[in-house]
Structure 1
Amino acid sequence: MTLLTTQRTAPWWRDNLCYEIFPRSFADSNGDGVGDFKGITAHLKYLANLGINSIWLTPFYPSPQADAGYDVSDYCDVDPVFGTLDDFDILLKEAHAYGIRVIIDLVPNHTSDQHPWFKRALAAAPGSAEREWYHFRDGLGENNELPPNNWTSLFGGSAWKRVPGEKQWYLHLFSTHQIDLNWDNPAVRDAFDDILKFWLDRGVDGLRIDAANNLVKAAGLPDVTPENSTMTDQQYRGPMFDQDGVHDIYRRWRKLVNTYDDRVMVAEAFHVQPISRLVNYVRSDELQQAFNFDYQLSQWGATNYRAIIDKYLTNMGTVNAPCSWVTSSHDQVRIATRLGLTTPGATPMGLDSTTEQPNEQLGLDRARALIMLTMILPGALYLYQGEELGLPNHTTMEPRFRQDPRFFDSNGTMIGRDGQRIPMPWKAKAPAFGFSPSDKSWLPQPDSYAGYAADLQEKDKHSTLSLYRRLIALRTQNALGTGSLQWFDSPRNDVLVARNGSVCIYINFGYAPLDLPAGRVIAQSRPGIDKGTQLPGNSAVWLALDEMPHTQA
């Protein structure tokens, strides 16, 4: 069966294949042990050869770096650790020359406590216009010694911090250095209009909106109660999340973005439930995409993935929005590690030497199978740097090296996200595995990363890097991102069979081998599948079949 190349007709973002770059950990050009813009620019050819359409840069703005740049002190400049605005412009220009678009991370829920806006607010009197930029409230108790309400920080402890020597407190849903803005204040909305224009005028192709469902808080900032809140691994609901007023902001932004050509906005709306609430963020006059966290955090199993895929394709289709599939990111334990745990796909808040250690090979086998399922799905797809190398988490890092504020704010009860933010291994035998021209690395790399180095995988046709390149090329050639998915009868309940265009996937979530129908193997998650008629457990294959299986009802 011939695989066809389809001419593009849809906007680029509908099937965007985006590569997330965590700049601190991608490539260091000057030997200080921290990645930078020049390091990214030097590796654009690698990214172009991978076949991705765009890159997403996590925050690079001036920042005290209390939370890896998500504590912004100036939204319209570059932190010197990453370079200069000129370096950013060069990166943008050269990325565009390779046909790679650039999406940047916008952090509108909170600023750093070192931002001039917050410094002015602290210096001003209670009730002043300056304090209206944030959520300042008088404390409770006889001497205002208690927080204004019972909200807790996502990083642990109270979500309020008292102004020294005053009766007032200020709100921080994240770390104590990340102060929540008051989006009911028109001045805040005007200021962000200017920030969006600054970067869109500069030529960026899109914005990823951090904590997109957190901006607006319920009127009066009421206490969390069992009736108004739920916080579990699968649902975040409360007076600080997903308030209806947030959609006024995104409608305003969409009008602004529509004055530019071909730009996109992507929501990080974490665990907005039910899905009908998430769909609101991607209505035609709001944002274009929203990350699918149910898919990213699913446990391993045919039933789980089938249900999530169907739910998102159906619900996003009601507003003609594409699904945005993701399996790994800088915030979650890497997929190759999660799938190697006893409960494959469990979502621990970090791993260390005191926790379960994953089965590294089994996790990698499953991750390679899962990316084959993910790549065949219609919609956009977001990859996290190093995912294409099959990188696992650093699961034995000593506490003395940790930098994630979640670890410190929770007194170590949350191990944190450092393990998935380890600098990239580019060369197996170089200092810092080629991440830096020196031997410096802002987080320690495990010795095992030598075996995952890009230069080794470049030479191996069976490597994870080679698999990703092949899948991406086939996805592009066959327009799978703008195609449609059709399920077929499965021979077992631990197997999924589906088709997009002329590509058919069999993915075996179990351990027992599966007999395959006759057909030409297009791609395989493990070497040797093309030499037999069986699909091993925890693996997947793409086939071109002369005769398709029976369609499922």
Structure 2
Amino acid sequence: MSSGSDNLEWWRHAVIYQIYIKSFADSDGDGVGDIGGLIAHVADIAAWGADAVWVCPWFESPMRDGGYDITDHRKIDPLFGDLASAERFIEECHRHGLRVLLDFVGNHVSRDHPWFLEALASEPGSDARRRFYFAPGRGEDEDQPPTDWPSIFGGSAWTRESASGEWFLHLFDSSQPDLNWRDEGVRSYVRDTFAFWFDRGVDGFRLDALPGMGKTGELVDAHLGTERFVPESSPEVPFWDQNLVHEVLGEWRSIARSYQPERFLVGEVVVNGATRERSYTRDAELPSLLAITLAKAQFRAESLAAAIRQVGEGLSEGAWSTWTVSSHDERRPVSRYAEGDLERGRRRSRAVHLLALALPGSVCVYQGDELALENVDDIPVDLLQDPIYERTGDRTLVRDGCRVPLPWSEGPAFGFSSGTPWLPQPLGWSALSRTRQVTDPHSTWSILREAVRSRRRLVPGDPDWSLGEPVPGVLELRRGEDFRCWVNCSHAGVPVPTGWRLLIASEPDVGEIPVDGAVWMERTLAPSTP
């Protein structure tokens, strides 16, 4: 069995394009993206320069949480296509030099999953119920949850089922009951599912909400005193980031290593502190973590630097980060950075993407960020589909705004569909459509395309890096002796330093590094020696 490091070296420098399938492209006119739409645009993704794609769940699902509530991990939901179309998509990606990651959700399934329906029809204590977490409630009538654990989506993490009166655990929505990873049947099913997709040419998995799989099994109160569980700031709790998850990951890594080349596993690991993060990247577990800290950082030199350092401290030797500025779960960076001015947000989004592409490791770019799309915050309430809104009533937490269908052209529905898109698109997106940006050398699409396609050639492959602030408010990323990335978070333009020349800039060349801009530079003069 290979150690895996050589087999996975390709991934260490890859640019991964994240696809939220419902909003990518619709081929049949029902207003929802599908696999036919993916196939139609594989060449476009490859032409932009991506090395791989990550496809959000396309599995059979009632879609109460955008496909993250799965009823069968080996079937394609008819909304998107079928297994034959999925296999064609994988083949088409490989034909264009793209590798394929699927999104695997291991913490929970749908409440419509056959296992959970069987559990509901079974007696307390049955084998069917042991695949999940069922427990009697507290109080004289057992009408209070077994513990005080809050859900990530808000409210209690427990829901009572009417037949037996027992409560079941769901760290997310009540439509997503948590699996019990101490059950051998659960583990066997997932091992077989990994093999099912690897044998069909899938090159790896992005592993969703991994720490949730680590539960002690003890039903004791957490005493958090909050309505929502926020794992990145939480103290240790019995239902998140416990040792069981590492046992399971060891099994999964063994399966990935049994294939040649080794299949890639990248984990979504949201925990409190670098020490806990580091425990997921030991040799027997994950080669890479999805680094979401940049998606949380402010456009300030010190905030960006702190986010990068935190990720670096959370890696074991030999592991690397898969950087991301955004995802299907985050507000789009244009809106995060705008401070009331979307054009400012677009400049800053380009700058932070240029920074991410200069960092060591792989990079994930979420669909639409290459077009500088903003978050859509005015979706009518009756069209919202995110279960977080139903549970909290808080529009600021809703994720639908970053999931609005893409603008491909300037025609009806901006080329996304011949029908009515499942979420409304802003009228202003005509100017941001792909067809408009492809012909503009100064568009976000063109600037990031240049950086993506040049990354392996221009950015040193050495994993070493360091940060500095050569000018107040300017973040400097150093890669080797002869490469620099500067991000200007100050309030004034900054001249290009003597002895350096620009390679790529996030804004048209104006003779300096402008406010809200970023550049890649290479040395033209040998460094002076003391």
Identify the TM-score tier after normalising by the shorter chain: over 0.9
In the alignment, what sits opposite 2:355? 373
**C-alpha distance in 2 between matches for 1:231 and 1:147:** 16
CA-CA distance at 1:254 after TM superposition: 0.9
Q: 2:364 matched to 1:382?
A: yes
Kindly provide the CA deviation profile for residues 148-185 of structure 1, in whole angstroms up to 9, marking residues without a partner as x.
11112221221111111423111111111101111111
In structure 2, the partner of 1:14 is: 12
Structure 2 match to 1:434: 415
Deviation at 1:486, TM superposition (A): 4.2
Name structure 2 gaps, 5 residues minimum: 1-5
**Match of 1:526, as an amino acid?**
E
**Structure 1 residues 549, 174: closer, same or farther in 2, change over 3 A?**
farther
Is structure 2 residue 516 aligned with structure 1 residue 538? yes
CA distance in 2, matches of 1:45, 1:503: 31
Compute the displacement of 1:481 (Å). 5.2
Cα distance, 1:201 vs. partner? 1.2
Partner SS, residue 62 of structure 2: coil
Q: 1:228 to 1:241 in 2, by over 3 A?
A: farther
Is the aligned partner of 1:506 residue 2:474?
no
Q: For 2:58 and 2:453, how far apart are their aligned partners in 1?
A: 30
Q: Percent identity?
A: 37
AA of the residue aligned to 1:496: L
Cα 1:155–1:141, aligned 2, differ >3 Å: closer, same or farther?
same
Pairs within 5 Å for 1:236-385: 236-237=234-235, 238-261=237-260, 262-270=262-270, 272-316=271-315, 318-341=316-339, 358-385=340-367
**Distance (whole Å) between structure 1 residues aligned to residue 210 and residue 387 of structure 2:** 20
Secondary structure at 2:284 match in 1: coil
Contact in 1 for aligned 2:54/2:102 (Cα 8 Å): yes
Letter in 2 for 1:266: V
CA displacement at 1:389 relative to structure 2: 0.7
Residues 417, 226 of structure 1: CA spacing in aligned structure 2 closer, same or farther, 3 A cutoff? closer
The yes-or-no answer on 1:493 pairing with 2:475 is: no
Aligned residues of 1:524 and 1:541 also touching (Cα < 8 A): yes
Structure 1 residues 550 and 541: alpha-carbon distance in aligned structure 2, compared to 1, 3 A threshold = farther
Verify: 1:524 aligned to 2:522, yes or no.
Answer: no
- Residue 96 of structure 2: aligned partner: 98
Contact 2:407–2:416 (Cα < 8 Å) also in 1: yes
Q: Find the counterpart in structure 1 of residue 3 from structure 2.
A: none
Amino acid in structure 1 at the alignment position of 2:61: S
C-alpha displacement at 1:234, in angstroms? 4.2
Rounded Cα–Cα distance in structure 2 between residues aligned with 1:231 and 1:80: 33
1:446-461 mapped onto 2 (5 Å cutoff):
446-461=426-441
- 8 Å Cα contact 2:325-2:333 kept in structure 1: yes
CA distance in 2, matches of 1:472, 1:482: 17
> Among residues 441, 455, 461, which one is paired with 1:475 in the alignment?
455
User: Normalization by structure 1: what TM-score?
Assistant: 0.90
Could you tell me the TM-score, scaled by structure 2's length? 0.94
Question: CA shift at 1:482, angstroms?
Answer: 4.9
- In the aligned structure 1, how far is the partner of 2:7 from the partner of 2:210? 29
Question: Does the C-alpha gap of structure 1 residues 116 and 382 become closer, same or farther in structure 2, counting only changes over 3 Å?
Answer: same
1:61 Cα offset (Å): 0.6
Give the distance between the partners of 2:166 and 2:230, measured in 1 at CA.
30
Give the CA deviation at 1:484: 3.3
**RMSD, matched Cα:** 2.1
> In the TM superposition, what is the alpha-carbon distance from 1:548 to its structure 2 partner?
6.6
CA distance in 2, matches of 1:471, 1:160: 47
Equivalent residues of 1:230, 1:236 under 8 A apart: no
Distance in 2 separating the partners of 1:550 and 1:151: 59
Shift of 1:198: 0.9
Q: Which moved more, 1:23-32 or 1:438-447?
A: 438-447
- The answer to whether the Cα contact below 8 Å between 2:124 and 2:164 also exists between their aligned partners in 1 is no
1: distance between equivalents of 2:328 and 2:37? 19
Task: Give 1:480 shift.
Answer: 4.0
Q: Secondary structure at the match of 1:339?
A: helix
Match of 2:423 among 443, 449, 453: 443
| 8 A Cα contact 1:224 1:239, kept in partner | yes
AA at the equivalent of 2:269: A
Task: Give the direction of change, closer, same or farther, for the CA distance of 1:487–1:411 in structure 2 (3 Å limit).
Answer: closer
Distance change (3 Å), C-alpha of 1:264 and 1:9: closer
Q: 2: distance between equivalents of 1:169 and 1:230?
A: 19
Distance 1:324 1:236, change over 3 A: farther
Q: Name the residue aligned to 2:188.
A: 190
- Name the SS for the 2:210 alignment partner: coil
For 2:111, the equivalent position in structure 1 comes to 113
Q: Distance in 2 between matches of 1:549 and 1:387?
A: 37
Tell me the equivalent position of 1:52.
50
- Corresponding letter in the other structure for 1:511: H
Quote how far apart the aligned CAs of 1:421 are. 0.1
Query: What amino acid maps onto 1:60 in structure 2?
Result: W
- Paired AA for residue 436 in structure 2: L
CA distance in 1 between partners of 2:255 and 2:226 (Å): 34
Matches within 5 A, 1:161-176: 161-176=159-174
Provide the C-alpha distance between the structure 2 equivalents of 1:364 and 1:167, rounded to a whole number of angstroms.
Answer: 52
CA apart distance, 1:236: 3.6
Q: Summarize the Cα distance change of 1:550–1:408 in structure 2 as closer, same or farther, 3 Å threshold.
A: farther
- Equivalent residue, structure 2, for 1:351: none
Letter in 2 for 1:433: F
Structure 1, residues 212-269: CA drift from partner, whole Å, max 9, x if none?
1101212312111259999558424422110012100000111111111231111111
TM-aligned CA deviation for residue 506 of structure 1: 2.1
Deviates further, 117-126 or 157-166:
157-166
Aligned residue in 1 for 2:381: 399
